[in-house]
């Protein structure tokens, strides 16, 4: 139901002398789930009783121009680029503007958003990625030439560290990035006493062997 329409209906019922509860009951009886909330009806009923005649929302002025000058936007941009993990209240306190104004600058002015970093076992260099691709192509070529040798299984194996606890929460790993970018990646660079090496073996049907290697104390 269009908001202008239900505001017009509320205005009519207020003129008829109905209370917000009575108006809400009538809406529920006719529109059921699409009925406006009682709090909304109560708000607009009060507005019309005070003499309001417009059915439109008050124009939004937006943040003051003094808070969105090119100099302040550039200052916010430099602070975020220097420290991707900086929190909103820290930036706002440093520049001495409100968090609402800062949010407008970050989301509208700089087109940025804050995302949680996605954990990966390790980050590969460009050369390592090329090497992995070449090896995969060699395996695929060998498989296509000798399909009869791989009728039963074509096994792959890899190793990874398994941590006993999360070293950093999602909230702690959040950082600012451009709105068009995907979630950043980061490795577990902090050493942990609670971890073990896992050897994983799998084929086309899924994982069939997982070996946890005990850590040997020296």
Question: For residue 83, what is the domain's CATH number?
Answer: 1.10.10
Domain span at residue 8 reads 3-49
How far, in Å, CA of 11 to CA of 17, rounded?
A: 10
Antiparallel, parallel or unpaired: β 206-213 and 156-163 = unpaired
Out of 57, 76, 110, pick the residue that ends a domain: 110
Dump pLDDT digits (tens) for 104-147.
Answer: 888 888 888 777 766 666 677 788 888 888 888 887 887 777 76
98 and 132 together in one domain = no
Tell me the CA end-to-end span of the chain in Å, nearest whole number: 72
Q: pLDDT averaged over the chain? A: 77
Give the predicted TM-score (pTM) of the model: 0.33
202 and 141 together in one domain = yes
Query: Could you give the number of structural domains in the chain?
Result: 3
Helices 3-16 + 38-49 axis angle, to 10: 60
| Domain annotation covers residue 54 | no
18 and 81 together in one domain = no
Q: What is the mean pLDDT of residues 167-180?
A: 66
209 and 134 together in one domain = yes
| Domain annotation covers residue 43 | yes
pLDDT for residue 200 is more than 70:
yes
| Domain annotation covers residue 22 | yes
pLDDT for residue 60 is more than 50:
no
| Domain annotation covers residue 32 | yes
208 and 135 together in one domain = yes
**pLDDT at site 2:** 72
| Domain annotation covers residue 142 | yes
CB atoms within 10 A of CB 24: 22
22 and 88 together in one domain = no
20 and 72 together in one domain = no
| Domain annotation covers residue 19 | yes
pLDDT band, very low/low/confident/very high, at 66 (cuts 50, 70, 90)? low
For 178, list phi and psi in degrees, rounded to 5. -65, 145
| Domain annotation covers residue 207 | yes
pLDDT for residue 160 is more than 70:
yes
Total number of residues shown for the chain: 218
pLDDT for residue 165 is more than 60:
no
| Domain annotation covers residue 23 | yes
């Amino acid at each position: 139901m269009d908001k202008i329409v239900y505001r017009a209906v509320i205005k009519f019922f207020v003129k008829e002398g109905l209370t917000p509860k009575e108006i809400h009951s009538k809406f529920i009886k006719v529109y059921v789930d699409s009925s406006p909330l009682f709090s909304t009806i109560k708000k607009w009923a009060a507005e019309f009783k005070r003499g309001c005649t417009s059915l439109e929302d008050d124009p939004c002025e937006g943040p003051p121009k003094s808070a969105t000058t090119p100099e302040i936007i550039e200052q916010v941009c430099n602070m975020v680029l220097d420290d991707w993990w900086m929190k909103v209240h820290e930036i706002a306190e440093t520049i001495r503007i409100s968090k609402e104004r800062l949010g407008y600058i970050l989301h509208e002015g700089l087109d940025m958003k804050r995302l949680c970093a996605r954990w990966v076992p390790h980050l590969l260099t460009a050369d390592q990625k090329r090497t992995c691709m070449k090896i995969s192509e060699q395996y695929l070529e060998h498989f296509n030439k000798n399909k009869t040798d791989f009728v039963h299984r074509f096994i792959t194996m890899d190793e990874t560290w398994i941590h006993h606890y999360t070293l950093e929460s999602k909230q702690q790993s959040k950082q600012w990035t451009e709105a068009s970018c995907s979630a950043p990646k980061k490795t577990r660079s902090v050493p942990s006493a609670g971890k073990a090496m896992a050897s994983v073996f799998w084929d086309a049907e899924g994982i069939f062997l997982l070996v946890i290697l005990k850590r040997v104390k020296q």
